[in-house]
Amino acid sequence: MPANVKAQRAPVAEPGDRIVVESEKVGTPAREGEILEVTESPYGPTFEVRWDDGRRTGFRPAAGSAQIIRAKKRPTT
């Protein structure tokens, strides 16, 4: 592929999806939240997340550190 052509990637997550991040400390529960916004960059996606505890933060997961749970799509009529 020529250097000036960027490869198209499928989106990793979309607004409305859920994110689960396992804790690095034993015995500490995972953090969960709703993805509000996804911003793509050359370094990977950054998510704006509303965590279940009410906080809202930007989050850029490291490889394998987060699980994305797709939102159920509503059927179109």
Q: What's the pLDDT at 25?
A: 85
The model carries a pTM of 0.76
Averaged over 30-50, what is the pLDDT?
Answer: 93
Does a structural domain hold residue 11? no
Does a structural domain hold residue 67? no
Q: Could you count the other beta carbons within 10 Å of the beta carbon of residue 14?
A: 13
42/73 Cα distance (integer angstroms): 28
Does a structural domain hold residue 2? no
First and final C-alpha spacing in the chain: 41
Does a structural domain hold residue 12? no
Does a structural domain hold residue 34? yes
Does a structural domain hold residue 70? no
If one counts the domains in the chain, the total is 1
Does a structural domain hold residue 41? yes
Q: What's the pLDDT at 43?
A: 84
Q: What's the pLDDT at 57?
A: 96
Q: What's the pLDDT at 75?
A: 60
Q: What's the pLDDT at 1?
A: 43
- Give the range of the structural domain holding residue 31, as residue numbers without chain letter: 18-62
Does a structural domain hold residue 5? no
Q: What's the pLDDT at 5?
A: 45
